[in-house]
Amino acid sequence: MATKRVPQKPVATDSTIADVVETLDKPVEYVRRVLEKLERCKRAHGDAQVRLGVRGRAECPNYLIEYVREDPKTHERAVYQDAAYSGSTHRELAPKHIEDARNWSPEEMNITAVSALIGRLRNPRAPSSRFADED
């Protein structure tokens, strides 16, 4: 018996997790697992951000965890890759996946934005800010 293949929904090349959250298979679980990786990176490097993989499945896109460091003398900021992860298993991918810039969105979300996103997913009726009802 042949199985019917469902065509993949493409991920826009400038997407963030917030942009694709509606298409994720299990949005709360996906964002929670990404947040775990971000927290690990922040503990190790003092900073963490995530870029979305744009060449895979929109239901569980791969993601790249990075951190930013500022040179104390020149004050120039440089971005360093920590690790890339499978969006379906959340296991680390081989380093070769990081190297091809076409795999990753140019837009990133920092750990604070991802924390806020999971808060909204877990409690969608909560006000999005403390000023939401002060119009």
Q: What is the predicted pLDDT for the residue at 133?
A: 41
Q: What is the predicted pLDDT for the residue at 8?
A: 64
Q: Which helix (H) or strand (E) holds 19?
A: helix 17-20
pLDDT along the chain (135 residues), means of 10: 57 93 95 98 97 92 96 92 96 91 94 96 74 41
pTM value is 0.85
Q: Is the dihedral of CA 68, 115, 99, 102 positive or negative?
A: negative
